[in-house]
Structure 1
């Protein structure tokens, strides 16, 4: 009698489990949505960017370029040219129907503006014609490419020769014993752990502060 009851219970449980599993799978399948294709017209985005900032007679003069990009055009173009020559991700290609994809300028501009302004990945879509996932991919590859290409030259500890050069420059400019100015940047940390709140609280928000000593030639 007990064995028969156990058998019926197992059969009922297996049937219930199978029905439940099938319902879950069916609901998940029904909830999957297809992403709508958006024709962003990448070439128009590149032409607009080029005419505004990079042409021989740009819409915005150099001082507004520096204000927008947070660096001057010479440095910006050095980064763009180096990435497009050495990192395949930043090389412009054609798609299956022969249309040009995003240009190195579009990808680099998106990667520069996102951390410079602390904006969301889709904030540059309307101007540069990049979707959110593409902008995030650009930022990842941009960061890795800059570290790879410029890390040995710039992302290192100063040598005694570097420090002496900065001290000499500081003395000439009327600041003996000075190697640079302290600069900082604040990033909001939306998901900061509660236990760490006191370490990263500034005003009503939680931010991470990056401080660095910047030499005068960084701003030229």
Structure 2
């Protein structure tokens, strides 16, 4: 059975192109144009991933994302890739505790979108029926082909940006990375984001690492300099 993708996009031409590319890659694709239709539709038709536009008639993508991550009875929790044409919204989007797995800015290449969809679904994300993979060995391990990371053999459920951030920090234990260096590693398209975006991702990374290594602080703040990763004892 092919993986299912819901495109929520009010620009039908864009949705049509994405639908064609995703279908050619083997996905079963559905399309909605209004934000206020999404939750009821997903309650009856669970999918593996939602490509969710930020600006929608009826209900915004941010509000839909919050609802799908709320754990409300009857609502699924698929992987979510947020889509926006407003670069100035990216900092707000990433700084909030929304739970999106990735984001992409318009204009974009349809091939890039397909690649992002594949990467998120390979990692497992919140896809229906996905189970966290286990990896052997102690310490941090990274699988770039699947965008998966593990700590002491336990899979970490990371977004693409969190994966990139942890890989930078984990590649040089003990080295202090400035926020600017971390932003350069996380965002290679030269978009402008603020320091608090990095801080927000660090906060989420710490929480996820704490779940795997209770009582151990693995990412340390160095006042006035940045952050560093220290392996678990």
Fold-level similarity (TM above 0.5): no
What is the TM-score of this pair, normalised by structure 1? Answer: 0.28
- If each structure's helix is expressed as a fraction of its own residues, which one has the higher value? 1
